[in-house]
Amino acid sequence: MSQNTQAAAAAKSKFSVRDICYAGLFAAVIAIMAQISIPMPLGVPMTMQTFAITLAAVVLGSKLSAIATLVYLALGAVGVPVLANFSGGFDKFVGPTGGFLISFPLMAYIIGLGVEHRDAFKGAFVTAVIVGTVINYVVGVAMFVVVAHSTIAVGITACVLPFIPTAIIKAVLACAIGLNLRKRIPGLKA
């Protein structure tokens, strides 16, 4: 490949080397935060993954945060122990908590869209954080109900109700820290 062809290919790329590095960095942040895990009685642990997903979305925006999340999930799916409790493997995606994992890229994308459009639409950012979180819960509960052969009421009791207070705290902290970081990281739109 000639230098002109390489330069043209690089110019057409939607992601710079910097973007790819940021996505990789946040995939690592998600993996680290996943290890902060508190077991809960009904089998769904309380982790800092959602904090890290929200943080990635706020800092990186929709596309890069979704990519960072997909990289994290791909590593976990092939068995790298990046998921909660240093686990990995495809079985985690088809287990009772698999719905939460599966919904992470969509959650990140929606929250990222909110941060990207926060100045254009009043309330877009807060709405996106709420919608992204609700989608995470809906997909997570649906998978829990199917895999655990339980009722929706049991799914909500196990997967939503105990987590609402901490979800609010994690979302507020991730948004505050993320907006502050976003202003300071080179190459990202404030």
- For the chain of 190 residues, list the mean pLDDT of each consecutive stretch of 10: 57 80 97 89 80 97 97 97 94 94 98 94 93 97 96 93 92 95 80
CA angle 185, 106, 40 (to 5 degrees): 95
Helix (H, G, I), strand (E, B) or coil at 37: strand
> What is residue 3's predicted lDDT score, i.e. its pLDDT?
63
> What is residue 108's predicted lDDT score, i.e. its pLDDT?
98
Q: How many domains does the chain have?
A: 1
Asked whether residue 58 is domain-assigned, the answer is: yes
> What is residue 181's predicted lDDT score, i.e. its pLDDT?
93
> What is residue 11's predicted lDDT score, i.e. its pLDDT?
56
Asked whether residue 81 is domain-assigned, the answer is: yes
> What is residue 10's predicted lDDT score, i.e. its pLDDT?
52
Asked whether residue 6 is domain-assigned, the answer is: no
Q: pTM of whole model > 0.85?
A: yes
Give CA–CA dist 19/66, Å, rounded.
Answer: 12
For residue 39, what are the domain limits?
17-183
Q: Taking Cα atoms as reference points, which of 162, 179, 145 lies closest to residue 47?
A: 162
Asked whether residue 190 is domain-assigned, the answer is: no
Asked whether residue 5 is domain-assigned, the answer is: no
> What is residue 12's predicted lDDT score, i.e. its pLDDT?
63
> What is residue 188's predicted lDDT score, i.e. its pLDDT?
76
112: CATH: 1.10.1760.20
Asked whether residue 102 is domain-assigned, the answer is: yes
Asked whether residue 188 is domain-assigned, the answer is: no
> What is residue 5's predicted lDDT score, i.e. its pLDDT?
60
DSSP string, 121-176: STTHHHHHHHHHHHHHHHHHHHHHHHHHT--HHHHHHHHTGGGHHHHHHHHHHHHH
Asked whether residue 8 is domain-assigned, the answer is: no
> What is residue 44's predicted lDDT score, i.e. its pLDDT?
72
Q: What are phi and psi of 10, to 5 degrees?
A: -65, -40
DSSP state of 61: -
> What is residue 154's predicted lDDT score, i.e. its pLDDT?
94
> What is residue 70's predicted lDDT score, i.e. its pLDDT?
98
Which residues, including other chains, have CB under 8 Å from residue 41's CB and lie 6 or more apart? none
* Cα-Cα end-to-end distance for the chain: 37
> What is residue 46's predicted lDDT score, i.e. its pLDDT?
82
